Structure 1
Amino acid sequence: MSRPRILLTAPPRTGKTTVVRRLADLLRAAGVPVCGFLSDEVREHGRRAGFTVEEFGGRKAVMAHLSWVSGPRVGRYGVNVPAFERIALPAMQRALTTKGAVTLIDEIGPMELLSPAFLPRCVALFEAGLPIVATVHQRTHPTLKAQIEAELITVTPQNRDDLPRALARLLAP
């Protein structure tokens, strides 16, 4: 039987990260190991000022910030590619060696794709036949879809509250 390979897509601020965070909680509560990482907002004075990357159960780093002026940029944000790689790449590697794990990747987007090692690692995970759920930036997914074979699910305000439970039922043994 083929293991689920799922890409979640939606416009920004629709709830993709919230779906992944809740899914991780449900899987861990069911005793399923979770590997991978979350990307989340850095809020300052009530406004989004950057993004973090955090391994499930592990390290965390700021990977993008409005105030950073050196290095590559995505929109208004300076991106620290080495900080992203220090957290995300080892987390993804652990997914290949952790027995019974579900891999969660949040997200495959323009900032993350600045890492030359990231997309090949994503493709390898999808090709390994492991259960995996990844979020993908809405504008990125047509290009990515050509490289990754997965079911594409759009997160909406109507389905985002029920989606974590539905995915947990599909992924938990």
Structure 2
Amino acid sequence: MSRPRILLTAPPRTGKTTVIRRLAGLLREAGTPVCGFLSDEIREHGQRTGFAVADFAGHRAVMAHRSWVSGPRIGRYGVNVPAFERIALPAMEQALEAKGAVTLIDEIGPMELLSPAFMPQCAALFAAGLPIVATVHQRTRPRLEADLVEVTPQNRDDLPETLSRLLLP
């Protein structure tokens, strides 16, 4: 039986990260281990000023911020690729080794793709046939064998439950 491999896509601020976060909660409640990482906005005074990356064990790092002037840039944000890699790559490696875990990756987008090791690690996870749900930036279409699901305001509240039914044994 083929294990589900799903890419969630949507415009920014539609709810992709919220879907992944709620899905992780449902999987954990059902006793299923979760590997991977979340990308969260950093907001200051009501404005988005950066992004943090956190694995499901609680390790966290700031990976991008408006105030950073050195290093690579994506739009208004300076990106700290080593900080991203320090959290994301071990979490992805753990997913390859974990038995019975579901891998959740939030997100495969322009900032994450600045890491030369990230996309090969994604490809390895998808090729391993593990159950995986990843979010992709709307303009990023990675060449990964997976079903593409669009997150919309109409389906985003039901998606975590729908996806958990697909992923749970």
For Structure 1 versus Structure 2, the TM-score category normalised by the shorter chain is: over 0.9
Deviation at 1:58, TM superposition (A): 2.7
Q: Which amino acid in 1 is paired with 2:91?
A: A
Distance 1:138 1:149 in 2: 17
Deviation at 1:117, TM superposition (A): 0.2
Q: What RMSD, in angstroms, separates the aligned Cα atoms of the two structures? A: 0.4
Distance 1:32 1:85 in 2: 25
Distance 2:57 2:22 in 1: 14
TM-score with structure 2 length normalisation?
0.99
Q: 1:13-162 counterparts in 2 under 5 A?
A: 13-141=13-141, 144=142, 147-162=143-158
Give a deviation string over 1:24-44, Cα, whole Å, max 9, x none.
000000000000000000010
Structure 1: give runs of 5+ residues left out of the alignment: none
1:169 is matched with: 165
- Write out the 4+ residue segments of structure 1 that deviate beyond 6 Å after TM superposition: none
Percent of pairs with identical residues: 80
Structure 2: give runs of 5+ residues left out of the alignment: none
Distance 2:88 2:97 in 1: 15
Distance 1:58 1:170 in 2: 26
Which secondary structure does the structure 1 equivalent of 2:20 belong to?
Answer: helix
Distance 1:34 1:172 in 2: 11
Distance 2:107 2:67 in 1: 22
Distance 1:114 1:57 in 2: 24
Q: Which amino acid in 2 is paired with 1:130?
A: L
